[in-house]
Structure 1
């Protein structure tokens, strides 16, 4: 009963914020970037809540916590220092300044204007659409199963509830509503994550005692030949830490910050938030070695370990009802924030990057906002059907998503920010080499080695782009002067 009351209150608050945000959304820039008026706390928490979702808390923490043991904490450290702090220190100022210089709002727009490449924008928009939309559906799917287990309602009803409320506040208020709800959701995540670790580890005796039991039991549960290699650990750390540097839904947070003077404060807030959330998730995941044995782990129908159920079962067994309700809101908060950012970026790939009426004044802008709202709603509905009917091709796209998007955009985006010698041909070559490398390596190495495939797909374009740029036509000086003004 407590969980239901808190859930109803949470949904009512999200809907109210959506209505409030609707009144503040007058232009397309307001809808997509909040008018570039976001303060450091809002921007930092928005970045953190978009970074972590149900995929981390439910599936990834359970799987890596069991298979990696305490080595999973290296993932949390990498996410904190590279994925959060490093991204803000290295990318935030230049991204905000250059996107303003070029008058761009999206990753595809930025790439087109920075390289003077007319066909780069539709190519980038297509990559976003085909790989981020299925990824958003996978988050909906994880949430639906969690609600099915906790509230004992059908998966379909749970899925409709999640999609319905996410769609309401996103479609009404756009990025402003997302940012404001992120602030509230971030507070829930921060408090809930700390409480979750304290309670779980107290059930093992104490924090230090539980860590010792994890280390001892891991050696007994996972034989040496089954333990991950150093390369496997490094590839997971690299994929999850460096990948966000090129994901459009993450980079968008740099576009929207109010002024560059706020970046230092936002960096500190993001780093602390990411450290608490990341370490909490993996500490709970690794504690499975204290509360489960290999024989008692949840299994699928085929007899394989069901990693998605490890953390939910652990929490339902160990946490009191009130704290379990808070943790449920934690997972919901993380996921709704990630989902809304994914849907906003996916819909922008059509409404902003491919819709010709956006640049017009007056009624043209009104049509763009209406188109953005319509597509956001449409993409939420499409996410429902993808989540409900797990088509084989969609499942494959979900598995490829991070590597494909980060591999396609990483080199072109980062070289574009820092190196005037990066050429249009180099950008095309970098994007296509990253995308093709991810697809090819994914099938050659197999799904079990997908982090290694994604890591290589991110790295290869950093060699391809400068190589091609060295032998192709240099960028226009006027374009470069405009892009790098003030940098």
Structure 2
């Protein structure tokens, strides 16, 4: 084995072993279903803030978003700005309210919010299936992307890389639940931050080869396209059940407010380093077949920052992917246990059964990943559009507005799902191109429609005039 490949293997093995040890360390803290899925309100707020930031960053940020500015220029940073704004709004507006709601209502899952706020258990079950199915699509995309990174960096086959990622994720998730997820996210956030800063500095300090040809011309996106893409991503992230799980874990609104600036500022630093990388690398890798090749070529072909940076970058990609993978699996397992298995058994939710469900779900995703249902981008974007379009309007109503009848909520959820699917496939079938005809926007428009009709038809109370 070449020395550089051996070094990479040892670094990655050490990182994965650290994740397993973290899970083993915190397993004694879990003493029931509540502790397993929300940490029992005992996880420090600063750790939750770091976990929240790590969940916002994925391998798509390090490869896809970082490389996109090679093609479209620095205007692509507008999209990153939308994501930072979404993170800020989530922490300032959503986090304290969700934390207080969980404290006063004993909520443990996102469907619990719908059951308590709208007074309908069937509605919560409907939401549960939306969360489970869309999150499974997302997990399929993340697991495939993580395995591809491991296979490329370590010289393994795709199947072998899948098994490695599956084994490590299973071990530390089964052992520690949310505590293990958050503890590993703290480690991973440091790796993410270091990897992003080092990559940015390396690109700025590298010198192009004198004989290198001129890069292709920039093809900038219109303002409408940038706003549409950025807003679409922001909407999906605000409604993400993984973020709500972190908010529940704060215990109360005061804890959530203490670090409301921490996660957005760190995310601004990470994305601020990643999004312009492709633009500044145009003279370093003049020709690429796909912009997703830009960052891997910079690291593994150009050898930025020397041979030592390759393992660091690979671990950063792993951290970005696994910080999302573990929490997504925990969301699916906790929803299935509380709203399906425990309900059918007429028993209280069980930590042991939740671990078993997590194992089964992860194994199912592993088997599906050997023959993927679709590419990474299409799976993740479809999952985000379905989730954001169907849930975000009702989340906003539940947190900031007056309760609405369950039947109106049902119609809103259904139209959001139908609209997202129509926005995804109908324009392609008709050959229509528009930055505003995106799945998330069509879904949101239809989901908001029944809410607007309900408010318009609601009887108005006349103010009494003093005599």
Matched, 1:328 2:309: no
Aligned to 2:356: 374
1:57-89 per-position Cα deviation (integer Å, ceiling 9, x unaligned): 123432x32343111111122211x22111111
CA 1:358–1:46 in 2, change beyond 3 Å: closer, same or farther? farther
Matched, 1:233 2:219: no
SS at match of 2:404: coil
Aligned to 2:38: 33
Matched, 1:464 2:464: no
Matched, 1:8 2:28: no
SS at match of 2:156: coil
5+ residue gaps, structure 2 = 1-5, 209-213, 461-467
The CA deviation at 1:473 is 10
**Matches of residues 84-99 of structure 1 in structure 2 within 5 Å?**
84-99=87-102
5+ residue gaps, structure 1 = 206-216, 299-304, 475-487
CA 1:394–1:240 in 2, change beyond 3 Å: closer, same or farther? closer
CA 1:182–1:451 in 2, change beyond 3 Å: closer, same or farther? farther
CA 1:394–1:140 in 2, change beyond 3 Å: closer, same or farther? closer
Q: Contact (CA 8 Å) 2:419, 2:443: kept in 1 or not?
A: yes
CA 1:413–1:236 in 2, change beyond 3 Å: closer, same or farther? same
1:14-33 per-position Cα deviation (integer Å, ceiling 9, x unaligned): 11111122111111011100
Equivalent position to 1:221, from 217, 220, 224: 217
CA RMSD of aligned residues (A): 2.5
User: What is the distance in 2 between the residues matched to 1:336 and 1:177?
Assistant: 12
Q: Contact (CA 8 Å) 2:45, 2:255: kept in 1 or not?
A: yes
User: What is the distance in 1 between the residues matched to 2:86 and 2:456?
Assistant: 30
TM-score, normalising length: structure 1: 0.85
SS at match of 2:15: helix
Matched, 1:153 2:149: no
1:76-132 per-position Cα deviation (integer Å, ceiling 9, x unaligned): 22211x221111111111111123222211111211221012211221111122221
Equivalent position to 1:120, from 113, 118, 123: 123
Aligned to 1:339: 325
1:401-457 per-position Cα deviation (integer Å, ceiling 9, x unaligned): 101001111011111011114332232222112111100011122398698322342
Q: Contact (CA 8 Å) 2:136, 2:332: kept in 1 or not?
A: yes
User: What is the distance in 2 between the residues matched to 1:395 and 1:121?
Assistant: 29
Aligned length: 444
Matched, 1:243 2:246: no
CA 1:203–1:394 in 2, change beyond 3 Å: closer, same or farther? closer
User: What is the distance in 1 between the residues matched to 2:428 and 2:258?
Assistant: 42
SS at match of 1:321: coil
Structure number having the greater helix percentage: 1
**Matches of residues 3-402 of structure 1 in structure 2 within 5 Å?**
3-62=8-67, 64-80=68-84, 82-204=85-207, 220-223=216-219, 227-293=220-286, 296-298=287-289, 305=290, 307-316=291-300, 317-319=302-304, 320-356=306-342, 364-365=347-348, 368-391=350-373, 397-402=379-384
User: What is the distance in 1 between the residues matched to 2:201 and 2:265?
Assistant: 18
SS at match of 2:394: helix
The CA deviation at 1:393 is 10
